[in-house]
Amino acid sequence: MAIVQNPITGRTRKKFGTAVFSKQFDQNTMRTRPMQVNNPRTEGQVRQRERFAKIVELVKQVLPLINEVYAGKLTRMSPYNKVVSLNSKAAFIEGTSEIDYTKIRFSDIEGSTVSNVLMTMDADRVLNFTWDADTDVQDELDELVSVVLVNNIKNKALIYNGVAARSEGMASITAPSEWVGDIVSAHFITVDMSAAPNADGTIKGKKIVKYKVGSELADAIQ
């Protein structure tokens, strides 16, 4: 940066050709004006911001569940940041900002869960689920299954708590009226009881959240 004081420019501020003038400590200073400024709105940057906004919108709707699932399990980041990071890249169709809802994860904790989940649609917004309990542990069979229903069109999520005991293998829920015609997917929340017993002999189960079914054209609310 040069200090200038000449009879042509005098005490000059702002721009003059390719130079930028300013006044510091009662002296004129001159620096070269940048010839090119990086564009902060490249296609990739715009796509990344759109992806981030969509994931944040979805995750915030199930934040109480996420906080519960990760309670006491994370030390270097919040449950919110953890789940956003799980999805910010992996949950999108390659090269786009469109979510692949079959890849959404509300948790990466592994454990006992149901299998062979089927979802069918009835009139009046009723969704019917069937599943295999896939466990012989009585405490797991007795625990209630919950469902996170995700609207793939509106990027909305609702939690249906305690729809049925895991041992029952079936349950029905009713979607909101404003979801009629929208494609949905379902994540099942189960309880894993494989942890070592506490000092008093009790076992604290951990919640497992897994995508199970949905996101096809046939999975539209009626």
Look up residue 75 and give its DSSP letter.
S
The pLDDT value recorded for residue 43 is: 85
- Report which of 149, 147, 157 is spatially closest to residue 57, judged by C-alpha positions: 157
What is the overall mean pLDDT for the chain? 89
Residue 34, token pair as written in the block: 């940048």
Residue 132 DSSP SS3: strand
The pLDDT value recorded for residue 91 is: 97
No. of H helices and E strands in the chain? 4, 11
Is a pLDDT exceeding 80 seen at residue 193?
Answer: yes
All domains of the chain in start order, with CATH:
2-32 (no CATH), 39-108 (no CATH), 112-222 (2.60.40.10)
Residue 80, token pair as written in the block: 């919110």
Q: Identify the band that residue 44 occupies on the pLDDT scale cut at 50, 70 and 90.
A: confident
If you average pLDDT over residues 65-78, what whole number do you get? 96
The pLDDT value recorded for residue 24 is: 61
